[in-house]
């Protein structure tokens, strides 16, 4: 049972290569800036790379544009020792990078962080390619991949325990040793649903017999609203990142298994990992 599993905290640092990211858009435009950010992160378990903002106010892009934005960082990824996570809902993008991994015999794990919520044939084919490949299944109620960015148009009407049951039913069919489950906070969820998941996450774990979970709510708007931070800009990011650390510290004692924390400031989690 989940409650008997030893807890393992994994730090996943975030880098966005998008000009319109509300969090850090346009800040990683050169290899030098990327290396500076990596040095700031310190040792991490995974680096999560995103090249398309899926915030509802932004227009979607195709995989050609996405791959072009990733060109600045792809040569560096091959030299890193941590797992590499690609945040994309485009199968074409992840398969292009998987091709690079296999052609060069790279052994560090490759993770497809797929916010579409669609465990389709492309996912099955990806997992078959290599035992080094892993997949993050996100809860997103948009009906098709192409509508991933429109996730806030597709909300569940369920609340509290019924909502947890809905999440559990979503994940149970896809239990696999190389799949990580992500409730995908901020996607297809209102303010109350996001906080209900966080406040009762251990209950969700008990409903799903799986040991690998990801929590990604760093700099999310529902966190900012709770702490009364009016806007996300360079002047108040530090405050918001400290609020995120407080919430992670509050949650961790209740959780079990392998817990990935996706965060813009993984270095802040260093002390938590020792506990």
Cα gap 96→71, rounded to integer Å: 12
User: Is residue 214 classed as helix, strand or coil in its secondary structure?
Assistant: strand
Cα gap 162→129, rounded to integer Å: 37
Cα gap 56→77, rounded to integer Å: 29
Residue 260 phi, psi (nearest 5) = -90, 125
114, 88 Cβ separation under 8 angstroms:
yes
Look at residue 56 in the predicted model and tell me its pLDDT: 67
Residues 261, 54, 152, 227, CA torsion sign: positive
Strand partners, 100: none
On whether the 2-273 domain is CATH 3.20.20.20, my answer is: yes
Structure-token pair, residue 63: 């995989």
Report pTM. Answer: 0.93
Residues contacting 173, CB < 8 A, separation 6+: 119
Along the 275 residues of the chain, how does pLDDT read in single tens digits? 444 578 999 999 999 887 755 555 556 767 788 888 889 999 999 999 998 877 766 678 889 999 998 988 888 888 888 999 999 999 999 999 999 999 999 989 999 999 999 999 999 999 999 999 999 999 999 999 999 999 999 999 999 999 999 999 999 999 999 999 999 999 999 999 999 999 999 999 999 999 999 999 999 999 999 999 987 777 788 999 999 999 999 999 999 999 999 999 999 998 886 65
Cα gap 68→275, rounded to integer Å: 41
Residues contacting 39, CB < 8 A, separation 6+: none
Write the burial class of residue 274 (CB in 10 Å: 0-12 exposed, 13-18 middle, 19+ buried).
exposed
Cα gap 87→112, rounded to integer Å: 7
222, 245 Cβ separation under 8 angstroms:
no
Cα gap 243→265, rounded to integer Å: 12
Cα gap 29→19, rounded to integer Å: 9
């Amino acid at each position: 049972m989940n409650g008997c599993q030893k807890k393992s905290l994994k730090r996943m640092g975030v880098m966005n290569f998008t000009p319109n990211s509300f969090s850090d858009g346009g800040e990683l435009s050169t290899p030098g800036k990327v290396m500076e950010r990596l040095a700031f992160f310190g040792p991490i378990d995974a680096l999560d790379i995103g090249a398309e903002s899926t915030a509802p106010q932004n227009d979607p892009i195709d995989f050609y544009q996405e791959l072009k934005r990733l060109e600045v960082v792809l040569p560096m990824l091959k030299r890193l020792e941590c797992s590499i996570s690609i945040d994309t809902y485009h199968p074409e993008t992840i398969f292009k990078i998987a091709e690079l991994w296999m052609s060069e015999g790279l052994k560090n794990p490759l993770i497809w962080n797929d916010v579409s919520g669609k465990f389709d044939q492309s996912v099955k084919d990806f997992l078959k390619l290599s035992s080094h490949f892993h997949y993050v299944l996100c809860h997103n109620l948009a009906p098709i991949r192409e509508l991933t960015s429109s996730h806030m148009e597709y909300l569940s009407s369920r609340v509290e325990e019924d909502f947890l049951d809905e999440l559990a039913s979503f994940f149970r069919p896809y239990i696999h040793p190389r799949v990580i489950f992500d409730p995908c906070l901020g996607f297809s969820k209102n303010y109350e649903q996001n906080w209900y998941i966080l406040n009762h996450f251990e209950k969700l774990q008990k409903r799903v017999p799986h040991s690998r979970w990801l929590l990604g709510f760093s700099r999310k708007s529902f966190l900012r609203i709770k702490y009364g931070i009016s806007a996300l800009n360079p002047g108040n990011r530090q405050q918001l990142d400290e609020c995120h650390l407080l919430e992670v510290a509050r949650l961790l004692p209740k959780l079990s298994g392998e817990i990935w924390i996706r965060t813009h400031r993984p270095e802040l989690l260093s002390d938590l990992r020792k506990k």
